[in-house]
Copies of this chain bind each other. A is one copy, B any other.
Amino acid sequence: MSLTPEQQQEIEQLQNNSYPTKRATVPALEEVLYQAFPVLDHGFVRVIDYMGDDSAIVQAARVSYGRGTKKVNEDQGLINYLLRHRHTTPFEMCEIKFHIKLPFFVARQWIRHRTANVNEYSGRYSILDKEFYIPTPDNVAAQSTVNHQGRGQVLEKDQAEKVIKLLQDESERAYDNYEDMLNENDKDPNQTGVARELARMSLPLNFYTQMYWKIDLHNLLHFLSLRADSHAQYEIRVYADVMIDILKRWVPFTHQAFMDYRMGGTSLSGKAMQVIKRKIKGEDVTQESSGMSPREWRELVQVLEK
């Protein structure tokens, strides 16, 4: 993570704010408000603002006049119930706003989640910084042999370093070219600079961008369940992991229900449930006798062995 001293100072100023409010407030989240949680080599996640807490979910579910709280354990029970039964609208009543710095190729996956509000740093309007993502050696891995869209075994150290050096050199050169094209301050007085919107297209997908990203709690849980999943690309998963820690500070009951029912949960087909019932009765079910395709069967076996 690379904040300039000025940025660090701006953040600290905000952290020294203290205003009185009548709104629902979450001390554990206030503690880390504005703070930049580092992710990857130059990225970060910052919470900029939030609305609501666990009680706000209960309050909306009951359309109540007051705080919605009866007793704390009833609130937790209701949150569990709502999440288990996919009564999703009360979770939409909480909202959170992040400032995120991330590589272009991660931003491209991120933005596929449409039910969110976004303001991204504009490469048409401003010059992009010289910051690009280089994986650490233990993250340079081969194509997975079982998963068409994942990575498999980590490369030998010397081979990984070769890849890293190549990425490093290319990124350096790409930024040199970007600067040459922009020709800011007439560095080369014999050349006219090119428009920023054109020059930027020479930068590779590992360069960093940043954005403000605001989302409601229901859609955040959906995002996290997909992006913290083991099938998600490592470079987006590390962002999701940080955000799950933030979730725990913000809405601890919801976090707990989410970890049990969603992250730790499983969806089973009608056929799979039949197999399970037969197995519970002691029957020795095989793929052939299960009525499932080999792939479905493999997936069920995995679930039962996990």
Binding site for B on A (CB under 8 A): 3, 6-7, 10-11, 13-15, 17-25, 30, 33-34, 48-52, 56, 59-61, 63-67, 77, 80-81, 84, 86, 89-90, 92-93, 95, 97, 99, 103-105, 107-108, 111-112, 114-115, 117-125, 133, 135, 140-144, 148-152, 155-156, 159, 162-163, 166-167, 170, 173-174, 177, 180-182, 191-198, 200-206, 210-212, 214, 216, 233, 259-261, 263-273, 276-277, 279-280, 282, 293, 295-296, 299, 303-304, 306
As for how many copies of this chain the complex holds, the number is 4
B18 touches A20 (CB 8 A): yes
B260 touches A269 (CB 8 A): yes
B277 touches A269 (CB 8 A): no
B143 touches A118 (CB 8 A): no
B67 touches A167 (CB 8 A): no
Out of B3, B84, B205, B265, name the residue touching A202 (CB < 8 Å).
B205
Knowing A66-B13, A204-B205, A280-B280 touch, does A49 contact B49 (C-beta < 8 A)? no
Closest to A25 in B: B19
A271 touches B260 (CB 8 A): yes
* 27 examples of A-B residue contacts, CB within 8 angstroms: A3-B65, A14-B22, A14-B67, A17-B21, A17-B22, A18-B20, A23-B30, A23-B49, A63-B120, A63-B121, A80-B293, A84-B299, A89-B118, A92-B214, A93-B119, A104-B201, A104-B205, A111-B112, A133-B201, A152-B195, A156-B192, A170-B202, A174-B174, A197-B233, A266-B267, A267-B268, A280-B304
